[in-house]
Structure 1
């Protein structure tokens, strides 16, 4: 296991973090998963008020006793944004009680996903400041599924020491946020690269062939671990056994090898070949859409499905539209009414309405919800 400085927090975190959203089958399973993670070198555990019984299960494990000292273990929990400082402070105390802790190494405001969430957070922040002053919270950060502009605005407040965000080989929109956070010496935590990064634990055959002899999951971890600006990547195992495969590369954090670079070049070539003149370059100039369709994300899922046969992943994400609120905003592509508002703004001159309708036909299915709902 490698360890990296978590920005201005000055905590040395393992390059993989134990996420706790999926170990909820029982307290016993949670304990075994935590112990396995610690035995493999993980020293950072992330939970959240909104993850069902996750905080309580972690608290029970801490009370039962773990194989490393509390002083060697870093724990982050997340609470939702609120404009009420007293409510924010109360939520901190409730999390501490469930976790059987007298302090949090890190607290993240969970889901600054809109401008309004940022405004609420700024209004209620004195509740966190009080907890920081008396030692209940050591470091403050935020997690986000927001549009890039909101992420950048939140980073620019200079109120946060770390950020949890989406950034993967197959989703590089937030590269600018990674760079800004690095410039400000913030810790950078990548959310769920194995799942949100493409369900790469169960890749399609086409993608496996393109990445051979390296697995797509290993390749995406290497893409992130090779970036020294990034501190840690989230792993969300449902049981102890799911830790084994990803942690085999927990010490492989050097620069990308020639073989790895060649595979990434091959992936780019495949995308160009398969998509041709219908490739969306993800410039986001098509927004805003009068019908509130998240055009770039819809077409990103189309890109992945056509280029790499990542259709199951596309369906998984597409079903979240209209069912996950601000966590995954936008309406489905069938709401396109051919208004043509986006067409003159597209530098590739794509026939966006036609591509939207085609994507809806390919990816629509049973509606999805966030995992813990």
Structure 2
């Protein structure tokens, strides 16, 4: 296991972190998974009150295993709120459940909209409350997570309020690359969240994707793509049972430049993308926004890109099913809401037939609607 400096926190984190959102079947399974992760060299555990019994199970596990608190790092996350005083009670409840008197890291969980950001910046708001908690020693380092726009993420980073950021970024979602550059210039730690699941459901890839990545698995290639990037400190692995640690941690010490065979696999992915999508490829420039109907055009066409190019239809259905269901975690409206107004067309540098592609996206991916885990 390699360890990297987490930006200006100066914490030396394992390049894989154990995310504890899925490990909720029982306290026994939870403890076994945490122990297996620690035995493999993971020293950073991430939880949140929103993750059901996760904090309670983690507190019990730390006590039962008799671990040296100073030898591991705990991160929890609290939702931004306009009633910032509520954070005091939420923080103290988290500490009580975890059985500790401090958190190494606390992230504001989901600064996803300008309104959330305003709550943080307001006098006496979320940001001030967390600074007070930090001054009292309840929190060592402050950070944030965001599912919001790249522009919003960069605004939050540039405020210099936070020492680290939890972001989505993967082989199949590189929109946030400029945020990684900014974080590096600001000496912020970067924690990549859900690189396997939100990164493409890579534990269960389609046959087409598996063939293109040979002799590697898509999961291996994604993890190597991320681990070879020195802007990134650590990747979340959301194991529900110890066995699910095996594949990702198999590359925990393979953090150098991509090998010739890995680069060749990336080349095949690019060639396949060009052949299958042709002139209908959306390059994710975001020039088409804003849409008068509130359709997140690039996000939906990215899912179409993946479905057409690599047969990642199941993943597209999983994500598309959250549209109009997950609020600010996946904002916007479905592709079939397009009215053919044509507002986006002059702005598209590739001259894509966007209304036609949106309808095709909806036809391919519309299915059962999804709720988030904690709903």
> Normalising to structure 1: TM-score of the pair?
0.98
- C-alpha displacement at 1:63, in angstroms? 2.1
**5+ long unaligned stretches in structure 1:** none
Matched with 1:274 is 276
Determine if contact 1:85/1:128 at 8 Å carries over to the other structure.
no
- Per the alignment, in what secondary structure is the counterpart of residue 85 of structure 2? helix
Matched with 2:249 is 247
- C-alpha displacement at 1:244, in angstroms? 1.3
- C-alpha displacement at 1:121, in angstroms? 1.4
Partners of 1:332 and 1:83 in 2: CA distance: 29
Matched with 1:361 is 363
Partners of 1:86 and 1:361 in 2: CA distance: 46
Matched with 2:33 is 33
Root-mean-square deviation over aligned CA pairs: 0.9
Partners of 2:115 and 2:89 in 1: CA distance: 21
Matched with 2:88 is 89
Deviations 1:239-296 (A, max 9, x none): 1111112111110000111221121111111101110111111010111111111100
* Alignment pair present for 1:117 and 2:116: yes
* Alignment pair present for 1:199 and 2:201: yes
- C-alpha displacement at 1:225, in angstroms? 0.1
- The number of equivalent residue pairs is 372
Matched with 2:45 is 45
User: Following TM superposition, where does structure 1 have runs of at least 4 consecutive aligned residues deviating by more than 3 angstroms?
Assistant: none
Alignment of 1:1-20 (within 5 A): 1-20=1-20
Partners of 1:3 and 1:175 in 2: CA distance: 22
Determine if contact 1:17/1:232 at 8 Å carries over to the other structure.
yes
Matched with 2:177 is 175
Matched with 1:56 is 56
- C-alpha displacement at 1:370, in angstroms? 1.2
- C-alpha displacement at 1:316, in angstroms? 0.6
**5+ long unaligned stretches in structure 2:** none
Determine if contact 1:37/1:243 at 8 Å carries over to the other structure.
yes
Matched with 2:192 is 190
- Per the alignment, in what secondary structure is the counterpart of residue 250 of structure 2? helix
Of 292, 317, 324 in structure 2, the residue corresponding to residue 322 of structure 1 is 324
Partners of 2:88 and 2:181 in 1: CA distance: 31
* Alignment pair present for 1:79 and 2:72: no
Of 294, 297, 305 in structure 1, the residue corresponding to residue 296 of structure 2 is 294
Partners of 1:81 and 1:199 in 2: CA distance: 28
